Structure 1
């Protein structure tokens, strides 16, 4: 069994007899790309909606948002409510700027991380930025002297409004400074930074929309289709029956993700002929990129796909809800809908590309 090295053979060995099962299961575990590890159960009064790794607690500590507030969860099962607030749906922490971004009850707000960490965050310490916000996204700059950016999305059945802010850090007090406001005359599902000056919005496809994604230039305030309307290749893939989800930048190209498939385009919006197409086995509602893999969150399972080969590497049974929008190197946190536990999706460092 130690020399087999392939999943079908080991699965067959696992069914031979009881004495073969332990070793075959151990070898099968080594072939897995990733596995879910429960961190903490909630036990509060409201469902968990979002979570981020706790910058003050290692070993599986999390800060998470629920219907009744913001909590600190410890791996030993204990928890502490840091802030009593209704309907927390999104949290993002910028530890280096002592800043917490939070969306609760449709209100986009900020507070200092030190105030939240104290467990005694007063209402006077909270800065409410905007109401009726659907979601927000963050661009973390790696260039010296360049500010981080935040974009808050307001959406309706007829339009979307993007409000872009620069993060200012003066005298250890971080604030959001309005930079730009843009209007999109179609229902907008999500928004994501491609760079410090470029955004991509997933929108409801209309007559003039190619593929459901609009790219926004934050310097000129102009918008244009992310996909090249003169290249029929990606447009044939992005037919009317798929829903746009999000876009990831992968080196010099972009991975365009829909609920039923994903494919690559270059900076001109043209699909390279030598790039793969990923076709999910079930409709997907959320994605997390962990190169060279992408996690596709479906209704009843998680699918792990290799974005270089276009093959599904693993399927994790059970419904999970993605709790954060991890950037490169960050933990992927999900909520197990069966157990109610916050779960980290742990990738094996030695997982091969062909596992």
Structure 2
């Protein structure tokens, strides 16, 4: 189910009405410990103060517009004392992808994004996600027959390599079934590789463990949120909730939604209703009867 909360109502009020009006919001991430809100709207990547946003005193002049023509961004939230969070913004075209990496500098009062690195991928790129502080995974279009649609990027050496082991036919056979690469999640010591029609596990070598499940969405999915032991697959007409341990769908939330954030463990999953335009919290529960 999707429901309004005081949190989502405050966010909606701040972004859409009153002192601050931002339209065409496609992504929001909140770094509460850094007092920072990251927002992508109309292709413009911007930041603003979380405390000012919550108080309703955030004016347009307080927004920092970091970059234009951004397709999406990803966040690495560090849990190491003294180590900064990281953000990577993706600019993409029909022929390439450009990754701009920023370090979050400051404290819980004032924080900014400091440019750290820029990398170029000579392939059309669909998405990017941190696997660790120094490693990213990019979903790509070309080179699919070898990499299975995913390229791993080392931020230390600037080298890239395919995520899937080209010598293991098992994951490549699944990846070759006319599917679109979407994103990858780290789940304990393995990785959950997500495509628009299915998902499966690989280990650190890119090999698919024989005892791991394969998830097959009932509809093509365009976005995913991991909330262990569940993954939410955002489809055209619903959100499917799957148990990643058993491989079973446990709930179907009716209505088209656009995923706004990439929640960490315990964080709220925020969705934009494509019917009402409301920002809502996606609430899911186990053992709920599936709607037809």
TM over 0.5: yes
Residue in 2 that maps onto 1:115: 52
The TM-score with structure 2 as length reference comes to 0.90
Instruction: Give me the whole-angstrom Cα distance separating, in 2, the residues matched to 1:314 and 1:264.
Output: 21
Residue in 2 that maps onto 1:305: 242
Instruction: Give me the whole-angstrom Cα distance separating, in 1, the residues matched to 2:10 and 2:203.
Output: 37
Residue in 2 that maps onto 1:268: 205
1:227 aligns with 2:172: no
Q: Could you tell me whether the CA contact under 8 Å between 1:151 and 1:163 is conserved in 2?
A: yes
Among 30, 44, 47, the residue aligned to 1:93 = 30
Deviation at 1:208, TM superposition (A): 6.7
Alignment CA distance shift 1:125-1:338 (3 Å): closer
1:38 aligns with 2:3: yes
Residue in 1 that maps onto 2:220: 283
Deviation at 1:142, TM superposition (A): 0.8
Residue in 2 that maps onto 1:180: 117
Residue in 2 that maps onto 1:63: 11
Instruction: Give me the whole-angstrom Cα distance separating, in 2, the residues matched to 1:122 and 1:281.
Output: 44
1:324 aligns with 2:258: no
Among 161, 171, 184, the residue aligned to 1:247 = 184
Q: Could you tell me whether the CA contact under 8 Å between 1:64 and 1:91 is conserved in 2?
A: no
Among 188, 213, 217, the residue aligned to 2:150 = 213
Q: Could you tell me whether the CA contact under 8 Å between 1:212 and 1:244 is conserved in 2?
A: yes
Q: Residue by residue, what CA displacement relative to the aligned partner does 1:128-166 show, whole Å, maximum 9, x if unpaired?
A: 222211111111111111110000000011100000011
Structure 2 residue runs of 5 or longer lacking an equivalent are none
The TM-score with structure 1 as length reference comes to 0.75
Which structure has the bigger radius of gyration?
1
Aligned length: 290
Instruction: Give me the whole-angstrom Cα distance separating, in 1, the residues matched to 2:255 and 2:134.
Output: 39
Deviation at 1:82, TM superposition (A): 4.2
Q: Which of 257-266 and 295-304 deviates more?
A: 295-304
Residue in 2 that maps onto 1:135: 72
Deviation at 1:273, TM superposition (A): 0.8
Q: Could you tell me whether the CA contact under 8 Å between 1:38 and 1:341 is conserved in 2?
A: no
Alignment of 1:152-163 (within 5 A): 152-163=89-100
Alignment CA distance shift 1:203-1:64 (3 Å): farther
Deviation at 1:176, TM superposition (A): 1.1
1:168 aligns with 2:86: no
Instruction: Give me the whole-angstrom Cα distance separating, in 1, the residues matched to 2:164 and 2:121.
Output: 17
Residue aligned with 1:116, SS:
helix
Residue in 1 that maps onto 2:126: 189
Deviation at 1:84, TM superposition (A): 2.5
Q: Residue by residue, what CA displacement relative to the aligned partner does 1:297-348 show, whole Å, maximum 9, x if unpaired?
A: 1112222211111122222333333232211111122233344443323244
Residue in 2 that maps onto 1:7: none
Instruction: Give me the whole-angstrom Cα distance separating, in 2, the residues matched to 1:111 and 1:239.
Output: 42
Deviation at 1:123, TM superposition (A): 4.3
Cα-Cα RMSD: 2.5
Instruction: Give me the whole-angstrom Cα distance separating, in 1, the residues matched to 2:70 and 2:276.
Output: 30
Q: Could you tell me whether the CA contact under 8 Å between 1:227 and 1:265 is conserved in 2?
A: yes
Instruction: Give me the whole-angstrom Cα distance separating, in 2, the residues matched to 1:352 and 1:207.
Output: 37
**Structure 1 residue ranges, 4+ long, deviating more than 6 angstroms after superposition:** none
Structure 1 residue runs of 5 or longer lacking an equivalent are 1-35, 41-56, 72-79
Q: Could you tell me whether the CA contact under 8 Å between 1:134 and 1:154 is conserved in 2?
A: yes
Instruction: Give me the whole-angstrom Cα distance separating, in 2, the residues matched to 1:142 and 1:171.
Output: 15
Instruction: Give me the whole-angstrom Cα distance separating, in 1, the residues matched to 2:144 and 2:192.
Output: 23
